[in-house]
Amino acid sequence: MAVRRAKRSTTNDRNRGESGEQNEMNTELHQLFLEELADIYNAEQQVTKALPKLAKAAQNPELREAFESHLEETQNHISRLDQVAKSLGESIKRKKCAAMEGLIEEGEEIIDELEDSAALNAGLILAAQKVEHYEIASYGGLRAWAQLMGHDEAVDLLQETLDEEKAADEKLNHIAENFANEEARQE
């Protein structure tokens, strides 16, 4: 949602011209960028704690391996986020990602409710895909903003992670379509 500021009518503002307005917008966008960077940083930290639980609960070896390999990628995502901040001469602030907390809680509920069910793998995949889609949206937006602000190194780092998140989602789709959904349906 875009937030529009009312035009101020001071002489200084009128003399400031478009470049001053552009600088103010860039500063606000930069601050928003840093806030969202902190959000996804915490989200990734939460995911590193959740993935081992998903892997342990998975009944399908291919799904278990997908969760385990994505844990390694997620640790790299955290390192890349540190690199993004460093490339801008910034540090990542502490911020709790409530959205990821809720998504992970949903995944834990699925584990508890479907523990002995053939539908467990299908449920785990859906929970994991919700997480992936949140991350894809976050990294896509951050990459677009970095590009708009001319943060080329950040663009490259964020794109690399975005590509990995999309690949993880595709892998989950493959497992769901080829194994988990049919197994759940046949129960």
Measure the CA–CA gap between 116 and 120, rounded to whole angstroms.
7
Domain ranges of the chain: 19-186
Measure the CA–CA gap between 122 and 48, rounded to whole angstroms.
21
Of residues 86, 80, 82, 56, the one with CA closest to residue 68: 56
The pair of structure tokens assigned to 16 is 């400031």
* Predicted local distance difference test score (pLDDT) of residue 15: 39
CATH number attached to the domain at 19-186: 1.20.1260.10
Angle of the 120-149 helix axis to the 61-87 helix axis, nearest 10? 20
pLDDT tens, residue order, the chain (187 aa): 443 333 333 333 433 444 444 555 578 999 999 999 999 999 999 999 999 999 999 999 999 999 999 999 999 999 999 999 999 999 999 999 999 999 999 999 999 999 989 899 999 999 999 999 999 999 999 999 999 999 999 999 999 999 999 999 999 999 999 989 888 898 7
> What is the DSSP code string of the chain?
----PPPP--HHHHHHHHHHHHHHHHHHHHHHHHHHHHHHHHHHHHHHHHHHHHHHH--SHHHHHHHHHHHHHHHHHHHHHHHHHHHTT--PPP---HHHHHHHHHHHHHHHHSTTSTTHHHHHHHHHHHHHHHHHHHHHHHHHHHHHHT-HHHHHHHHHHHHHHHHHHHHHHHHIIIIIHHHHHH-
For residue 179, the one-letter residue type is F
* Predicted local distance difference test score (pLDDT) of residue 23: 53
Contacts of 103 (CB under 8 A, 6+ apart): 127, 130, 131, 134
Cα–chain center distance at 114: 26
The pTM is what?
A: 0.85
